[in-house]
Amino acid sequence: MAINKPYNNRAWLGVLPVLLIVAFSAVIPLMTVVNYSIQDILDFNSRFYVGLDWYRETLQDPRFIDAFGRQVLFSLSVLAIEIPLGILVARGLPKSGAWTSVLLILLAVPLLIPWNVVGTIWQIYARSDIGLLGVGLNELGLAFNYTSNPTHAWLTLIAMDVWHWTSLVALLSFAGLTSVPPAYYQAAELDGASKWQVFRYVEMPRLGGVLVIAVLLRLMDSFMIYTEPFVLTGGGPGNATTFLSQYLATMAVGQFDLGPAAAFSVIYFLFILLFCWIFYNSVMLDNTVGDNEARYHD
Amino acid sequence: MLRIQNVLLNPGLNCGFDHNFLPGGMTVVLGRNQAGKTNLCRLIAGLSTQAAGELSLNNTPLNKLSPQKRSVAVVFQAFVNYPNWSVQQNIASPMVAAGRDKAYIQGRVVGLAEKLGLGELLQRMPNELSGGQQQRLAIARALAKEAQVLLLDEPLVNLDYKLREALALELRSLLDDSDTTVIYTTTDPKDAFTLGDDLLLLDGGGKLQAGAPLSVYQKPNTFAAANLMSDPCINTFAWSTLTDQAFAQQCQAASDVSQLGGVRPEHLFFVDKSEFNATECVGFDLQVSALETSGDETFVHGLVQASNHGLVDQPAWVVRSPGMLNFSQGQELLVAARKRDILAFGGQ
Amino acid sequence: MANIILDEVGFAYPGAFEPTLLPLSVEIKDGEAFALLGASGAGKTTLLNLLSGLLVPTTGRILFDGVDVSALSGSQRNLAQVFQFPVLYESLTIADNLAFPLRARKAVNGFSAADIASRVAKIAGELEIENLLKRKPKTLSLFQKQLVAIGRALMRPDVSVVLLDEPLTAVEPRTKWQLRQSLKRLQEELGVTMIYVTHDQTEALTFADRVAVMAAGKILQTASPQEVYEHPAHEFVGFFIGSPGMNFVAIDPAAPAPMYAASGVDQSAQRIGFRPEWARLENPSEQRMSSAAHWPGKVQYCQILGTQDGAPVGVTIIASAVGELKVRGPINAIVGDEIVVVVDRFVSFCEEQYIATHYAPRGSDDVLENSANSAGDE
């Protein structure tokens, strides 16, 4: 039942300060970047209009393509682990009782740590000379060294991201699962459903909406990842773990090549925008699961 | 007096309706689910709703006033009380908001609590009360506001059957002697009789009929209006199937284009062929298909030839008869109704 | 289809001050339509949960066909349940929803796909929902969804008992009639043992072969609807059933009026009750000095419920020397009239069968305070 709120123009005045701030801190810089992306800047006084040249160059740059490939691989890998693991953890949590609050808080802790601290924790943790994990693995006979072995660096990065972000998926799934009224579980049990069938037919339909949010959030965020890999591996060994954001930073800040960097930024921005749009549309989709119990209480 | 004009309860409708609510009396708004009763309440209370219309109370227009400024109190279907305040604080809340002095508030709180049977529960919290007590608390709080209009939106529907019966009578005696305009919405026609000085029938967002409950019951304008006041539905038949065609012509002339007549389930009774009085009654042949007994009443479900007219999708009849009857399935009986109880409708 | 015996079953939540259910015994016959009727808080939901295996009895045992199932879970007891709101698998079609209980136990009961399909068709046919089989739950109305839920409960041919927990709560008043009829017809045709829990007396009395009336954790009477209506074994039963419930009058044992004796009331009875439908109103001037019991009083309120022969009928409330009396029938008096209530039919109650205070909405909603062990068996 849609509800029409009374229309009041004065509400725009409340939004004005926000609009100004956003304009100042986001829109103007964005426009500046777009401006740079279509110019060749040698120094402040000599700028030439080059049209879409930088865009073409960037999209054909082999290092850009490599970084993009690595980025996609990384995002998909962490998603493939975090989503199922998060659901599993959520199912394992008790739905009510004293332990629930304790466990929820414990789960939330990794989410609260500043990202560069996360990177630092893992950087030390995985070091093969003084890190608990690194030394432990070496003791077990694996010649583990993330600074020299690209595969090890990847695995460490993925492990770090999973440790950092699985809790988000777990918490979201938990919220979805607790919305299932006990009658559904009881009915499934009486029907003789196996545990797998209960998961598939009772829990998954409810989790559907929540999972879309979880997937898109994680996809967006992992695509933008910068601090943690930078702190952990610095992009190395070599280029092995240089993702899009880091490559961009190197280009813009390190080499001060503003034109191509700007074009790169715009391309990057458009990707994230695309994910955002998909996210927005999914969240706004009508979800009628749960309409049954809306009016009636036990 | 509370007046509503050009009220459109559903945005899809073309023309709105008007109604003047009985000042100082109880108006029952009767309608099925989704008929627009809650929209009407929200419109009068000033809460956001898709209904639109002009309201005036004692000739002061209400539309521009926010809910706080209107002299309207509402009791909702779900027992809505402030969960973190005790019963005493809950009842006092509208008076505190209005800025009354302490002594006055104290006196009113105690008085209202006594009236509604909450006298010993003043220090309890709402979640410690039973359903019936919570709803009575909501009513006490609404009464404490001393508003000119009191809206009750299906307040008893979430309560047990017996509690509902008892509270409905209670409400009647409670609200009878005040000059608040009370509007009570419900889906149960029994409430219309118990609580209503005036009745307003709603269907699909539109006004069907209004008037004293008994007169709406005896003279419904349309099929839908008749149906609303009968539980189970009205039994219908085609005029052409009556044996007494003179009577049928008379009734058809009185109504508009309707080819259907109706009779309420409670107005049908079983007669022996020998005792059937053709001048006063109209008879139908009923073949029993099922029987339901409920203490002092029997519901006989059956098929009547006259109802097989293909105009309305309700071929099975229900007869509501006092006492416990015993018929077998398939038994053929003569069921009759007095001519004055036969209903003729204007329009479908 | 099973015969169910509750043998001195009692239940108390751990740490609770008082038990929710006092030890009770009742037998539900195989293939019977049985109703559990009571107000909220009477313990009927607890009893339902004990039957469905959600709770384990604190005392006593539950027997299905002579086998003690008290420790077994619901699925082990092979029962089915219909809830207050339709509980369906949202991602499956209606046909798959119906087939689910049979498919889930395929390994156990060896149903072939063809068997399952024919059973689905049969049940769908009985409920007249064949045209819905390919649709998904979210496209159905609430009434249709509840029909499907009932169908799913009836799918297993060997189901021991079907428990229905106020299944008509969510359904619109107009469609309640249809649903009730379908349910009753199915119960008779399939011969399934059904236990129907409700607080609505019409639902209980029209559905059941036998009704058990519960209050405050006890079963007060288990009998056929007619018996429960005409010969209540406890004042609460007399009060709870009937709209409105019975009137109760105290007899002074020192001076019992001869009029009661003429109506066949036991000499030792101290309270008698009569239903509003059994009483009639007479004008004091016209009153024939019959031997029937009568009380003069003043009309306080007339509640009109409809018309008969064009005259209003309903409930008249009269204030008399023995308390407030309600009479149901034609309303031929107005407020303030002096009138006489005449009754020629009573039920008598002894001390164990009293309601301590009348079920009054004032104060607490608790009713029974001093009822000792009362009749609970058939």
The predicted-structure confidence for C113-142, as pLDDT tens digits, reads as follows 888 899 999 999 888 888 888 899 988 988
pLDDT band at A3 (very low <50, low <70, confident <90, very high): very low
Q: Are C88 and C184 in contact (CB under 8 A)?
A: no
Share of chain A above pLDDT 70, in %: 91
A291 touching chain C per CB within 8 A: yes
Render pLDDT for C224-279 as a digit per residue (tens, 0 to 9).
Answer: 998 999 899 888 898 888 888 888 888 776 665 666 666 666 666 778 888 998 88
Mean pLDDT of chain A: 83
Q: Which residue has the higher pLDDT, A239 or C275?
A: C275
Which of A271-280, B195-204, C8-17, C86-95 bottoms out in mean pLDDT, i.e. has the lowest?
Answer: A271-280
Token digits for C70?
């008290």
A193 touching chain C per CB within 8 A: yes
Residue C342, SS3 per DSSP: strand
The rounded distance, in Å, linking the Cα atoms of B148 and B159 is 27
Q: Specify whether B189 is located in the same domain as B66.
A: yes
Token digits for A100?
């629930």
Peptide bond just before A62 cis, omega within 30 deg? no
Q: Does residue A274 surpass a pLDDT of 60?
A: yes
Q: Chain C contacts of B267, Cβ < 8 Å?
A: 307-308
Average pLDDT over residues B65-93: 88
Q: Please say which residue of B176, B200, B223 terminates a domain.
A: B223
Q: Specify whether B45 is located in the same domain as B189.
A: yes
The rounded distance, in Å, linking the Cα atoms of B310 and A270 is 63
C311 touching chain B per CB within 8 A: no
What is residue A187's predicted lDDT score, i.e. its pLDDT?
92
Average pLDDT over residues A22-44: 84
Whether A244 maps to a domain, the answer reads: yes
Average pLDDT over residues A274-278: 82
Share of chain A above pLDDT 90, in %: 20
The rounded distance, in Å, linking the Cα atoms of C366 and C19 is 15
Residue B194: CA atoms inside 13 Å, Cβ hemisphere, count?
A: 21
What is residue B318's predicted lDDT score, i.e. its pLDDT?
87
First-residue to last-residue Cα distance in chain C: 21
| Residue-range definition of the domain harbouring residue B259 | 230-344
| Residue-range definition of the domain harbouring residue A70 | 61-283
Q: Does residue B298 surpass a pLDDT of 80?
A: yes
pLDDT band at C36 (very low <50, low <70, confident <90, very high): very high
Contacts of C91 (CB under 8 A, 6+ apart): A201, A204, A205, C136
Domains of chain C: 4-227 (3.40.50.300), 251-350 (2.40.50.140)
pLDDT band at A108 (very low <50, low <70, confident <90, very high): very high
Q: Are C284 and C340 in contact (CB under 8 A)?
A: yes
Domain count, chain A: 1
What is residue C355's predicted lDDT score, i.e. its pLDDT?
65
The rounded distance, in Å, linking the Cα atoms of C83 and C167 is 6
Say which of C81, C91, C108 has its CB closest to residue A201.
C91
B294 touching chain C per CB within 8 A: yes
Q: Does residue C88 surpass a pLDDT of 90?
A: yes
Determine phi and psi for A230, rounding to 5 degrees. -65, -45
Whether A42 maps to a domain, the answer reads: no
Whether A296 maps to a domain, the answer reads: no
Which residues, listed in sequence order, are joined to residue B261 by a DSSP beta bridge?
A: B237, B344
Q: Specify whether B96 is located in the same domain as B36.
A: yes
Q: What is the pTM of this model?
A: 0.80
The rounded distance, in Å, linking the Cα atoms of B279 and B263 is 17
Whether A137 maps to a domain, the answer reads: yes
Residue type, position B330, single letter: G
Q: Specify whether B84 is located in the same domain as B162.
A: yes
Q: How far is CA C184 from the centre of its chain?
A: 15
Q: How far is A209 from chain C (nearest CA, A)?
A: 13
Q: Does residue A83 surpass a pLDDT of 90?
A: yes
Which of A12-16, B57-61, C347-351 bottoms out in mean pLDDT, i.e. has the lowest?
Answer: C347-351
Is C138's CB within 8 Å of A296's CB? no
Whether A18 maps to a domain, the answer reads: no
The rounded distance, in Å, linking the Cα atoms of B261 and B152 is 35
Residue B75, SS3 per DSSP: strand
Q: Which parts of C234-292 are beta strand (E)?
A: 247-250, 271-274, 279-282
pLDDT band at C368 (very low <50, low <70, confident <90, very high): very low
What is residue B302's predicted lDDT score, i.e. its pLDDT?
85
Which residues, listed in sequence order, are joined to residue C211 by a DSSP beta bridge?
A: C35, C223
Share of chain C above pLDDT 90, in %: 22
Q: Does residue C372 surpass a pLDDT of 60?
A: no
The rounded distance, in Å, linking the Cα atoms of B217 and B226 is 7
Q: Does residue B334 surpass a pLDDT of 90?
A: no
Average pLDDT over residues C297-312: 84
Which of A3-17, A87-101, A227-241, C268-282 bottoms out in mean pLDDT, i.e. has the lowest?
Answer: A3-17
Longest dimension (CA), chain C: 80
A3 touching chain B per CB within 8 A: yes
Contacts of C302 (CB under 8 A, 6+ apart): C312, C314, C315, C316, C317, C331, C333, C334, C335
Q: Specify whether B42 is located in the same domain as B58.
A: yes
Q: Which of B261, B247, B240, B245 is nearest to B348 (CA)?
A: B261
Q: Which of B207, B73, B212 is nearest to B152 (CA)?
A: B73
The rounded distance, in Å, linking the Cα atoms of C198 and C183 is 14
Burial class (CB in 10 A: 0-12, 13-18, 19+), B64: exposed
Q: Specify whether B62 is located in the same domain as B39.
A: yes
pLDDT band at C345 (very low <50, low <70, confident <90, very high): confident
Q: Does residue C19 surpass a pLDDT of 50?
A: yes
Q: Are B235 and B304 in contact (CB under 8 A)?
A: yes
Q: Which of C207, C196, C209, C236 is nearest to C353 (CA)?
A: C236
What is residue C264's predicted lDDT score, i.e. its pLDDT?
64
User: What's the DSSP call for residue B233?
Assistant: P
Q: Please say which residue of B167, B197, B223 terminates a domain.
A: B223
Token digits for A271?
């990707």
Q: Which of B154, B181, B225 is nearest to B3 (CA)?
A: B181
Q: Does residue C377 surpass a pLDDT of 50?
A: no
Q: Per residue in A36-58, is it b (16+ CB within 10 Å) or e — as a string?
A: bbbbbbeeeeeeeebeebbbeeb
Is A296's CB within 8 Å of C90's CB? no
Chains near C with 3+ CB pairs less than 8 A apart are: A, B
What is residue C104's predicted lDDT score, i.e. its pLDDT?
84
The rounded distance, in Å, linking the Cα atoms of A271 and A219 is 11
Share of chain B above pLDDT 70, in %: 95
B136 touching chain C per CB within 8 A: yes
C277 touching chain B per CB within 8 A: yes
Residue type, position A163, single letter: W
pLDDT band at A296 (very low <50, low <70, confident <90, very high): very low
Count other Cβ atoms within 10 Å, centred on residue A145: 17
Q: Which residue has the higher pLDDT, A283 or C294?
A: C294
Residue B144 sits in a domain of what CATH number?
3.40.50.300
What is residue C202's predicted lDDT score, i.e. its pLDDT?
87
Average pLDDT over residues C139-153: 91
Residue C173, SS3 per DSSP: helix
Token digits for C186?
């199915």
What is residue A163's predicted lDDT score, i.e. its pLDDT?
94
What is residue A288's predicted lDDT score, i.e. its pLDDT?
43
Whether A122 maps to a domain, the answer reads: yes
The rounded distance, in Å, linking the Cα atoms of A170 and A106 is 12
Q: Which strand ranges, in their side-by-side order, compose the sheet holding C247-250?
A: C247-250, C271-274, C347-349
Q: Chain B contacts of C308, Cβ < 8 Å?
A: 266-267
Which of A105-119, C294-308, C338-352 ranks highest by mean pLDDT?
A105-119
Peptide bond just before C253 cis, omega within 30 deg? no
Q: Please say which residue of B193, B223, B253 terminates a domain.
A: B223
Mean pLDDT of chain B: 83
Domain count, chain B: 2
Say which of A191, A202, A204 has its CB closest to residue C101.
A191
Q: Does residue B25 surpass a pLDDT of 50?
A: yes
Residue A150 sits in a domain of what CATH number?
1.10.3720.10
Contacts of A232 (CB under 8 A, 6+ apart): A119, A122, A123, A126, A146, A153, A156, A157, A160, A241
Average pLDDT over residues A35-64: 80
Burial class (CB in 10 A: 0-12, 13-18, 19+), B312: middle
pLDDT band at A166 (very low <50, low <70, confident <90, very high): very high
Which of A149-163, B77-91, B265-279 bottoms out in mean pLDDT, i.e. has the lowest?
Answer: B265-279
Nearest CA in chain C to A182: C87
Whether A10 maps to a domain, the answer reads: no
Token digits for B236?
């219908």
Q: Does residue A285 surpass a pLDDT of 80?
A: no
